[in-house]
């Protein structure tokens, strides 16, 4: 039978064990009692305003190609270079007209000579007027004078027409701008020979107007309307306002994309051929989203703090998409229905307990 001392030792050991268990229980409950109150919100599909983004190239609103109308003449002067603003009718290129002027002088003289001959023939025909059946001249002689007068006048008219043709060519020796605008391309050099090529000598953006030809998905094309506003971001990050001018009614059968033309302000940094993207204001689309304040960024990238069933938080990396109306799309991240801390700036670390309060 155990002695009294043994019973006392056993009693002390049991008391110490009970005290240690109580301390451990209090230590485990302490984090929950000290948990921070946070607002949480569910990850769910939301309508993101301005969430439709499309990209494309900057193109002239009206692209004017300028070709020479004559062939065989060399370029004597190039008067305008790329980037110049030109007025309607302004000379762009001067062709060498030395030969043409000599031809015109010769043809003008021939036309004048033939006109004199025609006048003489007319006078000869006038002298036999009314002499038919008078017996003074044979009918054959009378008809010959009349036919000669007609022939001479026809030849005079032909020579005059040839002279007019050369004068018209003389006017075309200066290649002029058909419309006012901005010169965006030049493909002519001093000494070039005017020919019937397919490459224009100049390309002009009429009135200097440049717009964005954006590729938009088939599903989103129907949401856009002429007159809708857009924010257009240029390659250097500059944002300019835009207005939808045209929504192409056709869809590319291969890419399933449609073209939307967005009119832009006339600016020196809006350059033809450049890349830009547009965010269409007022357009909405549904996507899994959270408030922008719920996403935090650090050296490891973007993440949200997800609240588990045990009210402990865990860091979940995310990939963000479109933004609009204070919401940000989660391309990758927690599943729909997950609870996330609404304000990621809260001083929380993974594993912390929180007291969640739902936000509508």
Q: What is the pLDDT of residues 261-298, one digit of tens each?
A: 999 999 989 999 999 999 886 666 678 899 989 998 88
Give the pTM. Answer: 0.61
Q: Structural domain tally of the chain?
A: 4
The residue from 171, 191, 221 where one domain ends is 171
As beta bridge partners, residue 40 has 341, 358
Assign residue 352 a region (left: φ > 0; alpha: ψ between -120 and 50; beta: otherwise). Answer: beta
- Domain shared by 90 and 177, yes or no: yes
Flag the least confident range among 139-153, 252-266, 308-322, 335-349: 139-153
Cβ 261 vs Cβ 245: under 8 Å: yes
* DSSP conformational letter for 179: S
| CA pair distance 326, 338, nearest whole angstrom | 19
- 199-228: b or e for each residue (b if 16 or more CB lie within 10 Å)? ebbbbbbbebbbbbbbbbeeebbeebeeeb
What's the mean per-residue pLDDT of the chain? 84
Percent of the chain, pLDDT > 90? 47
- Domain shared by 78 and 189, yes or no: yes
Reference 271, options 25, 76, 59; nearest CA is 59
State mean pLDDT over 199-214: 94
pLDDT at 25 over 60: no
Q: How far is CA 109 from CA 104, 106, 124, 159, 170, in A?
A: 9, 5, 23, 9, 17
- Domain shared by 307 and 189, yes or no: no
Confidence at 75, pLDDT banded by 50, 70, 90: very high
* Full domain range(s) for residue 180: 68-94+173-204
Confidence at 124, pLDDT banded by 50, 70, 90: confident
Per the domain annotation, does 6 fall within a domain? no
* DSSP conformational letter for 50: T
| CA pair distance 267, 36, nearest whole angstrom | 53
Reference 303, options 291, 317, 323, 313; nearest CA is 317
The pLDDT score that the predictor gives to residue 53 is 80
State mean pLDDT over 100-120: 90
- Domain shared by 272 and 306, yes or no: no
Per the domain annotation, does 23 fall within a domain? no
The residue from 151, 171, 191 where one domain ends is 171
Reference 260, options 105, 52, 75, 44; nearest CA is 52
pLDDT at 357 over 80: yes
């Amino acid at each position: 039978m155990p002695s009294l001392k043994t019973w006392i030792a056993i009693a002390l050991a049991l008391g110490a064990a009970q005290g240690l268990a109580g301390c451990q229980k209090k230590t485990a409950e302490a984090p929950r009692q000290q948990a921070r109150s946070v607002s949480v919100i569910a990850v769910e599909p939301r309508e993101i305003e301005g969430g439709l983004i499309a990209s494309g190239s900057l193109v002239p609103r009206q692209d004017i190609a300028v070709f020479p109308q004559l062939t065989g003449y060399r370029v004597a002067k190039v008067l305008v270079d790329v980037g110049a603003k030109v007025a309607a009718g302004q000379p762009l290129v001067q062709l060498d007209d030395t030969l043409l002027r000599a031809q015109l002088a010769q043809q003008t003289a021939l036309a004048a000579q033939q006109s004199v001959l025609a006048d003489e023939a007319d006078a000869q025909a006038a002298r036999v007027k009314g002499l038919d059946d008078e017996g003074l001249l044979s009918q054959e002689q009378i008809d010959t004078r009349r036919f000669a007068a007609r022939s001479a006048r026809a030849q005079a008219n032909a020579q005059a027409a040839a002279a007019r043709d050369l004068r018209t060519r003389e006017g075309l020796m200066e290649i002029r701008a058909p419309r006012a605008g901005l010169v965006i391309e030049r493909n002519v050099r001093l000494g070039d020979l005017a020919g019937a090529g397919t490459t224009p000598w100049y390309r002009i953006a009429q009135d200097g107007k440049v717009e964005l030809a954006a590729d938009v998905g088939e599903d989103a094309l129907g949401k856009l309307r002429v007159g809708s506003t857009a924010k257009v971001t240029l390659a250097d990050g500059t944002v300019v306002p835009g207005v939808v001018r045209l929504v192409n009614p056709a869809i590319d059968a291969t890419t399933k994309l449609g073209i939307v033309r967005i009119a832009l302000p006339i600016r020196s940094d809006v350059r033809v051929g450049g890349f830009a993207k547009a965010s269409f204001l007022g357009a909405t689309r549904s996507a899994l989203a959270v408030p922008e304040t719920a996403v935090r960024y650090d050296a490891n990238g973007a993440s949200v703090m997800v609240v588990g069933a045990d009210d402990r938080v865990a860091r979940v990396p995310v990939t963000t998409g479109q933004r609009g109306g204070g919401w940000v799309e989660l391309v990758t991240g927690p599943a729909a229905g997950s609870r996330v801390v609404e304000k990621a700036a809260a001083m929380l670390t993974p594993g912390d307990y929180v007291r969640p309060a739902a936000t509508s």
